[in-house]
Amino acid sequence: MLRHKGFPSRLRGTDFQFTIRRANPDGPTPLVVRERHADRRPAACAADAAFMSCLWTHFGRDPFVRGNLDAGRLSWVFGREVIPAEDPFDPASYESMLVIDENCARTSFPGAFNGKCMP
């Protein structure tokens, strides 16, 4: 499992996790598309925006390996702002490649593209 050096482990002051410390011995948690409803808590929405900001700061338009990015947090943006960068795509692999769909991400999180990771 690739560890993304310099990527924040969580949203400061909260329990919203961005990365995992070690690989799951039973295999990685598969990525799934999670529906974001309008009645989500403001803190959860802020965590999504901060996570997207960090993804953009660290990877930009380039494809990146899932590695130690948290599957739960990644699933909130997977299938919309973050999409598979390879075909076939294995949602249950630490080595799977992802890429940011810049147009969708800029629409959903306009403040996340200021060039600074904001956890």
Output the pLDDT for position 12.
84
Residue at 89 is within a domain: yes
Residue at 35 is within a domain: no
Number of domains comprising the chain: 1
Nearest by Cα to 22 from 65, 60, 67: 67
Output the pLDDT for position 19.
92
Range of the structural domain that residue 60 is part of: 42-108
Low-confidence ranges of the chain (pLDDT < 50): none
Long-range contacts of 76-81 (CB under 8 A, 24+ apart): 76/34, 76/36, 76/44, 76/48, 76/51, 77/48, 77/51, 77/52, 77/105, 78/31, 78/32, 78/33, 78/34, 79/33, 80/33, 80/104, 80/108, 81/52, 81/105, 81/108, 81/109
Query: Are 114 and 54 a contacting pair, CB within 8 Å?
Result: no
Rounded-to-integer distance, Cα 72 and Cα 61, Å: 22
Residue at 77 is within a domain: yes
Rounded-to-integer distance, Cα 50 and Cα 53, Å: 5
DSSP conformational letter for 63 = -
Residue at 102 is within a domain: yes
Q: What is the pTM of this model?
A: 0.90
Residue at 46 is within a domain: yes
Residue at 75 is within a domain: yes
Residue at 21 is within a domain: no
Query: Are 118 and 50 a contacting pair, CB within 8 Å?
Result: yes
Output the pLDDT for position 118.
64
Residue at 63 is within a domain: yes
